[in-house]
Amino acid sequence: MPNPNNLRAGVQSQQPDYALVKFFSYPAEFDAVAFGTAGLLFNIAINSQADFLIQQLTLSVIDTTTYALVPVPWSLVQLSDSGSSAAFMAGPTHPSNLFGTAQQPFILPRPYLIKGGGLLQVALTDKRGAGNPLTWYMSFIGKNYFKSS
């Protein structure tokens, strides 16, 4: 079975092979975010028994008053891997630059591996000047690589 560390590093690794690979999705939900809210954090704890290879990202934004799906508003998002202290980008960016939809997920140009027991941190800033509260649903889609015993 291929080692996902090779995908991240681009070189042959001395890491052990994996016993089991399963499709998996880690969700992040920012519920009823009021306009102009800054510095919201959501931490996703990665299963300690499996490394997680992120392959796709999706985002849906729902108006909590009308329950309607809305276009992604003016906002900023920052992703980081706390386990390795690595940021996914140089600074915050508009979510449309990084996330796709359920129908058309954003496929990472190169899958990103987060070690088992690591922490994926999502920071969100709502830059709207007015409007109804919104709920943000993000999905980090990929594979769990369970380690050999």
CATH number at residue 84: 2.60.120
For residue range 8-67, what is the model confidence (pLDDT) as tens digits? 544 444 455 778 889 999 999 999 888 888 889 999 999 999 999 999 999 999 999 999
Q: What is the mean pLDDT of residues 73-97?
A: 90
**Count of domains forming the chain:** 1
For 111-134, b/e burial (b = at least 16 CB within 10 A) is bbbbbbebebbbebbbeeeeeeeb
In one-letter notation, the amino acid at residue 4 is P
28 φ/ψ sector (left φ>0, alpha ψ -120 to 50, else beta): beta
For residue 149, being part of any structural domain is answered with no
For residue 4, being part of any structural domain is answered with no
For residue 66, being part of any structural domain is answered with yes
For residue 91, being part of any structural domain is answered with yes
For residue 100, being part of any structural domain is answered with yes
Strand order in the sheet with 40-45: 40-45, 119-126, 75-81, 86-87
Question: Does residue 34 or residue 136 have the better pLDDT?
Answer: 136
DSSP 69: B
> pLDDT averaged over the chain?
87
pLDDT at 131 over 90: no
For residue 131, being part of any structural domain is answered with yes
**Full domain range(s) for residue 65:** 31-144
- The whole-model pTM stands at 0.85
Measured in whole angstroms, the distance separating CA 136 from the mean position of its chain's CA atoms is: 12
Question: In the chain, where do the E strands start and end?
Answer: 18-33, 40-45, 50-63, 75-81, 86-87, 106-114, 119-126, 134-147
